[in-house]
Chain A
Amino acid sequence: MSATVLFGLCGALLVGLGVYGLIVQPQPLRKILAFNLLGSGVFLLFGVIARRGAAAGFGGDPVPQALVITGVVVAFAATALAVALLLRLFEVSGTVTLRADDGEGRDA
């Protein structure tokens, strides 16, 4: 099992954990963390592809690396927005549940 395959499996594992957390965990903060796991898994996959696409002389294909950097920034912005909304929700309502209290659309 070469390094790339190992990292690829690791990335897939992270993606799986992230999706599981995002779907199953009821609390928003855990969902945000799960999203970050998911994002990390996808970026790891990108890295694996960069490594596999390495041409002679380069350590890795530069294009996926550029994409990963952009992706990290996007994920960071997403997390920041989500956390800001969460904090504001806590400030306004005192709880952080996503469950609606007036019976409209019960969701976790």
Chain B
Amino acid sequence: MLTTTPGGTWLVLALVVPVAGVLLAMILRGRHAERIALVLMPAGLAIAVAIAAGVMATGGPLSYVLGGWAPPLGVALRADALAAAMMLTTALVIGAVGVFARANFATPASASGARASFTFWTLLLAVWGALNAVFLAGDLFTLYVALELLTFAAVPLVCLDGRAETLRAALRYLLFALLGSALYLSGAVILYGMYGTLDIVLLSSLIRAEPATWAAGALMTAGLLAKTALFPLHLWLPPAHAGAPPAASAVLSALVVKGSFFLTVRLWFDVMPGVPGDAGAQLIAVLGAAAILYGSVVALRQARLKLLIAYSTVAQIGYLFLMFPLAFDQGTGQLESGAALSGGLMQAISHATAKAAMFMAAGLMYAGLGHDRIADLRGIARALPVTVIAFGLGGISLIGLPPSGGFLAKWLLLSAAVTTGQWWWAVVMLVGGLLTSGYIFLVLARAMGATDAPLALAGPVARSREWITLALALVSALLGLVALTDLDFLQIGRPVAGLR
């Protein structure tokens, strides 16, 4: 873990390739940004597959030590099964978003259009690179830098259209995220002061439960929760995700919030598994349950489709945090990696793919109708059937119907709830599923409503965009079938060898 393993070079490439793309785009400018991005996407996907294959083959994490300097002085990159799975999802979603966005951001009709297009592609690569850094970084400070990179790359994506309200939303997002990261950094300061290292592996063996650790943990967790927009710290998310262009919303909702969530998982499961205790885990899950209930109800009351999907993200983020008390082992007093963690991760992956598909579908419906008022969606199912089917498939994954990834996640989490005897979380999950089905079927019912005459589309909708949306939704809706294969997907949650 503190040396470079064979296959570690892939980790470096995973960081270098997107960043090189960003730099190249800034040098070449103009339409080249799009071309560079579209060339690098398959390359990035290949790198993610290689990392995943390497982790599965060796059965343990891949690591790479920068410059040959071992921690605590140097910085290590590590990829365990958790990171590999997230990187694969990221590569997949970004690839799909790239194909989808070609129509929106391909031909710059005006100077501002050209600037928006160039900005979008460059930022897409930057978000990708930052996400890879978040998944791979092996010490808390590199994680801070990666998190900041992610925020800086994501914020301008919100205000690409240049209107005042999206600029306000972007500024609100940035300032709230900065408050969160300042809290995170102060927690890291305290940890360094106590233990003299910030490397995750070293820290996990040194950490003790004492007031300074409690304070540091609380600060870091609160900061990360602000960036993940967990209730009640979600104020920035709905206007930001609803105001961004559809391709950007897809990336923001699907991937960017998962970055800080992943960091929370790393912090709680790998750095300080014995610190939170049952009370801490239950508290964070209470916030999650409140997010599910609140987000779903408010989503039901929305008049605009993109805001409904944004509030649905607020609700689904709550699901991710339900896994913490389910992973808590009363015997050892620690958070154990196992079925609950696999379930939480499966939930994250299936939500990423489903939500990206839903935002893309909403964008297509907006392009077809000229608006996204839910009450006036009648006739869109006849005009854009593939889009509505994609939305429905994404919804099926969110509700948790088989054979979607959401169902597999729900099964794992419910099993964990039964074996640990925490019934209330099972009830929360089932109620959440019902509420989710409420707003999904609300939208589908409106979309399938019949009009007297066939709907005249307000603008052309390219077929390739519909099909890539459907493809991504199918990935989410069929993700549960991975349980039928030999793939030991539960390995995702197993403790990394040598980590403790």
Q: Which residues of A contact B182 (CB under 8 A)?
A: 18, 35, 38-39, 42
Identify the closest chain B residue to A78 (Cβ).
B178
Which chain B residue shows the least CB distance to A94? B164
Stretch of B102-110, B186-194, B244-252, B374-382 at the chain-chain interface: B186-194
| Contact call B171/A98, Cβ cutoff below 8 A | yes
Query: CB < 8 Å: which of A22, A63, A88, A93 contacts B179?
Result: A22
Interface status of A89 (Cβ within 8 A of chain B): yes
Could you say which of B156, B167, B178 has the most chain A C-beta atoms within 10 Å of its C-beta?
A: B178
CA distance A93 to B167 in the complex (A): 10
For residue B69, give the distance in angstroms from its CB to the closest CB of chain A.
12
What residue of chain A has the Cβ atom nearest to residue B187's Cβ?
A: A42
Q: How far is the CA of A20 from the CA of B313 in the complex (A)?
A: 29
23 pairs, A vs B, C-beta closer than 8 Å = A19-B179, A22-B179, A23-B179, A28-B171, A28-B175, A38-B182, A39-B182, A49-B193, A52-B193, A63-B192, A67-B192, A70-B145, A78-B148, A81-B152, A82-B178, A85-B170, A88-B167, A92-B164, A98-B168, A98-B171, A98-B172, A102-B165, A107-B235
- B341 CB, nearest partner CB in chain A, Å: 30
Residues of A within 8 A of B73 (CB): 63
On chain A, the number of residues with a Cβ less than 8 Å from chain B's Cβ atoms is 40
Contacting residues, chain B, for A18 (C-beta < 8 A): 182
* A93 to chain B: closest residue by CB: B164
A28 to B179, CA, bound (A): 13
Q: Which secondary structure dominates chain B's binding surface?
A: helix
A92 and B169 alpha carbons, distance in the complex (Å): 14
Q: Are B185 and A92 in contact (CB under 8 A)?
A: no
Contacts of B179 on A, CB cut-off 8 Å?
19, 22-23, 35, 38
Chain B residues near A85 (CB-CB < 8 A): 155-156, 159, 167, 170-171, 174
A interface majority secondary structure:
helix
Complex alpha-carbon distance, A102 and B175, angstroms: 21
A46 interface contact, C-beta 8 A: yes
A1-51 interface with B by 8 A CB criterion: 15, 18-19, 22-23, 28, 31-32, 35, 38-39, 42, 45-46, 49
Q: A82-B178, A88-B159, A89-B164 are in contact. List 8 more A-B contacts (CB 8 A).
A: A35-B175, A35-B178, A38-B182, A53-B193, A82-B174, A85-B174, A89-B167, A98-B172
| List of A residues within 8 angstroms of B186 by Cβ | 15, 42, 45
Q: Which of A60-83 contact B (CB under 8 A)?
A: 63-64, 67, 70-71, 74, 77-78, 81-82
Contact A22 B145 (CB under 8 A): no
Interface residue range, chain B: 20 to 34
The B183-216 residues at the A interface (CB cut-off 8 A) are: 185-186, 189, 192-193, 196
Q: Which residues of B contact A88 (CB under 8 A)?
A: 159, 162, 167
Q: Does B394 contact A (CB under 8 A)?
A: no
A1: shortest Cβ distance to chain B, in Å?
18
| 4 tightest A-B CB contacts, nearest first | A93-B164, A49-B193, A89-B167, A38-B182
B301 interface contact, C-beta 8 A = no
Q: Is B344 an interface residue (CB 8 A)?
A: no
Q: Which of B145, B182, B186, B239 has the most CB of A within 10 A?
A: B182
Q: Knowing A35-B179, A92-B164 touch, does A82 contact B171 (C-beta < 8 A)?
A: yes
Give the distance to chain A from B226, nearest Cβ to Cβ, in Å. 11
B141: interface (CB < 8 Å): yes
Contacts of B217 in A (CB 8 A): none
B238 within 8 A of A: yes
Q: Is the CB of B145 within 8 A of A107?
A: no
Q: Mark B147-162, 1 if CB is under 8 A from A, else 0.
A: 0100010011001001
Q: Given the complex, which residues of A lie within 8 Å of B171, measured CB to CB?
A: 28, 82, 85-86, 89, 98
B163: CB under 8 A from chain A? yes
Of chain A, the residue at the smallest CB distance from B168 is: A98
Collect the chain B residues with CB atoms within 8 Å of residue A49's CB: 189, 192-193
A82-B144 Cα distance, complex, nearest whole Å: 18
Which of B141, B152, B235 contacts A78 (CB under 8 A)?
A: B152
Question: Residue of B at shortest CB range from A62?
Answer: B73
B304, closest chain A residue (CB): A104
B170 CB, nearest partner CB in chain A, Å: 6
**Most chain-B Cβ atoms within 10 A of its Cβ — which of A32, A53, A81, A102?**
A81
